[in-house]
């Protein structure tokens, strides 16, 4: 059983998709803790409903970024967390945490990286006028959305899309590929060489780029 630690800043719908994937048996994992930087995050309410411990840790209560992320790393280690899941955590992760969890921190980003990193990936895609957008699950390094890509799902982007309509289309795929990436990790099928992620039995997984495939 894989022990997860979730970091989230807001609504927490990706957090919920992980909770639901555990409840349905799709994931054989348990969630040791939710850590948030935002006392008003709805993710806290979701944790409460599911009897998951939550901690509010605000960067401004720490002397600097290093002490903040060193503290988070300690909280996660103390609870036996093996994989850290960033489910809408809106900060660039500090080295103090990355060093403790090298290639053991996953993030979901609402764009096809390396396009449109950072905040408002969906708005960036709408403003740019791309025809295809999507989402990416990747391992986290010290850059902004620069770590090795694990899985991506593509969706069409239409000229009359708004940030909201595109976000909604992308979010549906987020809720599928994030639990799936965690499952691949849990099954020990993911390995990283340099900046490339390989998935054992990769041939079946390559269809994940097409969200209209029967798997979904
Ligand atoms: C999701 O769309 C996620 O991809 C995005 O924030 C949203 C969180 O929604 N993350 C980023 O933009 C990270 N750069 P949620 O709280 O409902 O899961």
pTM of the model: 0.94
Pocket test of ligand 1: the residue of 13, 14, 140 to mutate, having most ligand atoms within 8 Å of its CB, is: 14
Query: Which residue has the CA at smallest separation from atom 6 of ligand 1?
Result: 88
Domain count, the chain: 2
**Do residues 94 and 120 share a domain?**
no
The residues annotated as belonging to the active site are 109
In a shared domain, residues 147 and 49: no
3-class DSSP state of 129: coil
Distance, CA 109 to ligand 1 centroid (Å)?
Answer: 6
What gap in Å lies between CA 12 and CA 132, rounded to an integer? 25
pLDDT digits over 32-87, tens only? 999 999 999 999 999 999 999 999 999 999 999 999 999 999 999 999 999 999 99
Stretch 183-208: mean pLDDT, rounded?
A: 83
Nearest C-alpha neighbor of 83 from the set 179, 186, 198: 186
Q: How many CA atoms lie within 13 A of 168 on its CB side?
A: 5
CATH number at residue 57: 3.40.50.170
Contact status, residue 18 vs residue 99, Cβ threshold 8 Å: no
């Amino acid at each position: 059983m894989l022990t997860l630690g979730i970091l989230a800043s807001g609504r927490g719908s990706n957090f919920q998709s992980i909770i639901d994937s555990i409840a349905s048996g799709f994931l054989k994992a348990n969630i040791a803790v939710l850590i948030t930087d935002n006392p008003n995050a709805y993710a806290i309410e979701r944790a409460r409903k599911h009897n998951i411990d939550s901690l509010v840790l605000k960067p401004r209560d720490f002397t600097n970024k290093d002490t903040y992320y060193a503290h988070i790393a300690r909280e996660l280690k103390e609870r036996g967390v093996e994989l850290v899941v960033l489910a809408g955590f809106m900060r660039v992760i500090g080295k103090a945490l990355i060093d403790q969890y090298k290639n053991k921190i996953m993030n979901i980003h609402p764009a096809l990286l390396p396009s449109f990193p950072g905040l408002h990936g969906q708005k960036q895609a709408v403003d740019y006028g791309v025809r295809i957008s999507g989402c990416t699950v990747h391992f986290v390094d010290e850059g902004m959305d620069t770590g090795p890509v694990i899985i991506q799902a593509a969706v069409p982007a239409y000229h009359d899309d708004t940030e909201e309509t595109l976000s909604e289309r992308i979010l549906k795929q987020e809720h599928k590929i994030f639990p799936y990436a965690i499952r691949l990790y849990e099954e020990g099928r993911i390995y990283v060489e340099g900046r490339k992620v390989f998935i054992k039995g990769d041939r079946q997984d390559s269809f994940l780029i097409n969200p209209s495939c029967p798997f979904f």
